[in-house]
Structure 1
Amino acid sequence: MSETEIRQLTIIPPEAPLRGRVLPPGSKSITNRALLVAALAKGTSTLSGALKSDDTLYMAQALRAMGVAVEEPDATTFVVTGDGTLRPPAAPLFLGNAGTATRFLTAAAALVDGEVVVDGDEHMRKRPIAPLVTALRSLGVEISAETGCPPVTIRGQGGFAAGRVEVDGGLSSQYVSALLMAAACARGPIEVALTGKEIGARGYIDLTLAVMAAFGAKVTQPDPATWRIEPTGYGATDFMIEPDASAATYLWAAEVLTGGAIDLGVQASAFTQPDARAHALIAAFPHLPAVIDGSQMQDAIPTLAVLAAFNESPVRFTGIANLRVKECDRVAALAQGLSRIRPGLGIEEGDDLLVASDPALAGQTTPAEIDTFADHRIAMSFALAGLKLHEVTILDPGCVAKTYPGYWRALASLGVALEGDVP
């Protein structure tokens, strides 16, 4: 593709504080968990407040390919009907760069009587899945992933027996969540245990357990690193999905950057997702702490890193090594994007990110084309820089469709002017 064909979007800094009402989309994390559990349940479940985006639509389409009826009566509802059984799809399941769908379906495929191939795009094929493959193999599942990343081939035998499985959750909590959700449909009790104390964003495990409980699963925790799942299967239910906390972070940041007032329709305290803890930090701007541990709010780090560019003092982000294996290497992408605004604004130090904050940046003209690396969170977070700086241009703005298709419309509704190819 030539440079003239690259779609781009330039944000025009607003001349007044952003005010208005924007309702964030439904939680991607909860939507994809609820879709899978509803598909494994017997009966019809209605999922309300759901997110309709690339990631969740890939999940829905994969479930249809496995014999589950997934209807979409409106823009925020899925109606899922199944008999508790997933069937072998006629072709490989293509899941784009949806990490949740890929990891969750890899474990669920062990419940299928037949072969399932789980695959994704060029970006997903670089994202590790070996710890989950190793864990499933220890349960007797015939599974292979030659590169340690997708594609993954699973030759299921209709389920797996009772047992204990150990998993390294250091790279991603999604491996643990995938095993927990599938385990409720095993032939006997399953114990899922961490091989170490480290786990990426433990709060997402709590989201998984809450969804499982809503559909009738019974899980106990003998110790902080072990879960025992009873073979209850799942029962259909109607389930309400809360708004996406990761999406909310952009709006919270836009509010403080412009001195505005944005009504999200939900209080920060009402969120159960881990990224909601970023609200307290955002509210402290321009006095962010000198060190921010991002290990338990990983998807909020791009928002906080861009916000930190305008902080009163430098900010070091720690506990973010896992960001290197997200949709892109987010540590590198953040450092690069910040340094395109001003050389040295973002610095990688090992797996830490140091933001050399400068409140005097606000109002300056800093021509910067931001390479998003097809990563929705890089695009959405650097749009925030465009609220304070002139000539910030986002390349591939359409990548926000992964989790927040209406993001650019939301900014425009608040009074942000956009120039270029608006998706």
Structure 2
Amino acid sequence: MTQNLLREDKLTILPITHALKGHVSPPGSKSITNRALLLAGLAKGTSKLTGALKSDDTRYMAEALRAMGVTVDEPDATTFVVTSSGQWQEPKEPLFLGNAGTATRFLTAAVALAKGRFTVDGDEHMRKRPILPLVEALQSLGVAVAAPSGCPPVAIDAHGAFKKNRVVIDAGLSSQYVSALLMAGACAGEAFEIELAGTDIGAKGYIDLTLSAMRAFGAKIDQPSSAVWRVAPTGYTATDFHIEPDASAATYLWGAEVLSGGKIDIGTPAASFTQPDAKAYDVISAFPNMPAVIDGSQMQDAIPTIAVLAAFNQTPVRFVGIANLRVKECDRIRALSTGLNNIREGLASEEGDDLIVASDPSLIGQTLPASINTFADHRIAMSFALAGLKIGGITILDPACVAKTYPSYWDALATLGVEYQVG
């Protein structure tokens, strides 16, 4: 059913009358899949990526690699087989990456070490997402790169090398800038050093994911301090690589479990995840007594899930450390406060970049018709579906946007007995 949804469709959740129980396997990690695709494309030889996510974001990355002469085969629903010469060709057209932030940032740095002219672009939403800190860092390395708006499109005139072997990057907006430079750095031809400007960095745990994936493909990285990385000029070696399930996707299932009082087996214990968003498990498990203050700085993609759960918490919740949510697929702080206040006025408020959810357990069982504008953001759609489990009349606009990272999301809920109406 999920595959047949259209952008103009709307989906109304029917409140559940039973605890949700069953087995659901979340898709592979988007973050790890796009890292592995990039590294496999940079390596000479054939790499087999198993457990991979097949979604809009990873499809854009795969298509971009194909446009640059890399062979990407898909023998089944969770496998990519990537064969590369290690040298990318100039594409005939701009690399279109939709609203895939990982693919856009990673490729911007990687193509700077190729030869030719490249344009990295995206859809109307991606064209509002900042990339200037990465562009300025590449410019400091002698790369001819421009992004006049500070957001994509980015034009790169690449000559196969950086002119310097050290860069300072401001990662306050996104850790993806650091990850992009790290992954490119192993192909720089000489030892390459990356230093943070200041101490602020969004979702630092994702850099650990990057380093782990790089090492799996043969890279060698030292970290003499918390703000400095040194990458050896090893290039990458083709390898077989298994991708763990997506922790951000798991948060919706953990949320559905505690909200319904059920038991959902996702096949992977929370403690086994290496992704930062898995930290959300402990917070979600505390429902309906989640803490009064939740720091979302190191589990940013889990905050929409927790914020919707907070509507039913016993006590109000303030979310801090979430300023970066304003520059995600949409302004998620505004989208969350708007959606919650559509359910009941005063349920949420913004103070600077903090989000305060008033919390009201008596919402459970009420019928409060509300149309949730997802702003084409998959995480807004999937998180507000949880509200519909306990409140009648919750309608998700543009439910097809879940295809960005979890194409089978609505089907997964259906297997647990959740019912909904489309149209």
TM-score (norm 1): 0.98
Counterpart of 2:307 in structure 1 is: 305
Give 1:378's aligned amino acid.
I
The alignment status of 1:318 with 2:320, answered yes or no, reads yes
Counterpart of 1:375 in structure 2 is: 377
Counterpart of 1:411 in structure 2 is: 413
Counterpart of 1:160 in structure 2 is: 162
Counterpart of 1:73 in structure 2 is: 75
Counterpart of 2:331 in structure 1 is: 329
- Contact (CA 8 Å) 1:367, 1:390: kept in 2 or not? yes
Counterpart of 2:45 in structure 1 is: 43
Q: Deviations over 1:207-249 (max 9, x none)?
A: 0000000000000001000000011000000000000000000
Give 1:110's aligned amino acid.
A
Give the superposition deviation at 1:161.
Answer: 4.3
Instruction: Give the whole-Å Cα distance in 1 for the aligned partners of 2:196 and 2:385.
Output: 38
Instruction: Give the whole-Å Cα distance in 2 for the aligned partners of 1:225 and 1:329.
Output: 28
- Contact (CA 8 Å) 2:143, 2:163: kept in 1 or not? no
**Equivalent position to 1:356, from 339, 355, 358:** 358
Give the superposition deviation at 1:159.
Answer: 2.3
Counterpart of 1:263 in structure 2 is: 265
Instruction: Give the whole-Å Cα distance in 1 for the aligned partners of 2:161 and 2:248.
Output: 34
Instruction: Give the whole-Å Cα distance in 2 for the aligned partners of 1:82 and 1:389.
Output: 51
Matches within 5 A, 1:12-411: 12-411=14-413
Identity of matched residues, %:
70
Q: What SS class does the counterpart of residue 132 from structure 1 fall into?
A: helix
Q: Deviations over 1:318-352 (max 9, x none)?
A: 00000000000000000000000000101111100
Instruction: Give the whole-Å Cα distance in 2 for the aligned partners of 1:178 and 1:161.
Output: 17
Give 1:39's aligned amino acid.
G
Give the superposition deviation at 1:111.
Answer: 1.3
Give the superposition deviation at 1:6.
Answer: 3.2
- Contact (CA 8 Å) 2:7, 2:398: kept in 1 or not? no
- Contact (CA 8 Å) 1:47, 1:239: kept in 2 or not? yes
- Contact (CA 8 Å) 1:248, 1:264: kept in 2 or not? yes
Unaligned residue ranges in structure 1 (runs of 5+): none
Give the superposition deviation at 1:112.
Answer: 1.3
Q: What SS class does the counterpart of residue 170 from structure 1 fall into?
A: coil
Give the superposition deviation at 1:14.
Answer: 1.1
- Contact (CA 8 Å) 1:161, 1:188: kept in 2 or not? no
Give the superposition deviation at 1:5.
Answer: 8.7
- Contact (CA 8 Å) 2:28, 2:243: kept in 1 or not? yes
Q: What SS class does the counterpart of residue 44 from structure 2 fall into?
A: strand
Q: Deviations over 1:368-394 (max 9, x none)?
A: 000000000000000000001000000
Q: What SS class does the counterpart of residue 234 from structure 1 fall into?
A: coil
Aligned residues: 418
Unaligned residue ranges in structure 2 (runs of 5+): 1-5
CA RMSD of aligned residues (A): 1.0
Q: What SS class does the counterpart of residue 128 from structure 1 fall into?
A: coil
- Structure 1 outlier segments of 4+, above 2 Å: none
Instruction: Give the whole-Å Cα distance in 1 for the aligned partners of 2:115 and 2:12.
Output: 50
- Contact (CA 8 Å) 1:23, 1:264: kept in 2 or not? yes
Instruction: Give the whole-Å Cα distance in 1 for the aligned partners of 2:344 and 2:226.
Output: 44
Give the superposition deviation at 1:160.
Answer: 1.9
> CA distance change for structure 1 residues 5 and 49 in 2, over 3 Å: closer, same or farther?
closer
Q: What SS class does the counterpart of residue 313 from structure 1 fall into?
A: coil
Instruction: Give the whole-Å Cα distance in 2 for the aligned partners of 1:196 and 1:49.
Output: 37
Q: Deviations over 1:71-111 (max 9, x none)?
A: 00000000000111111111000000000000000001101
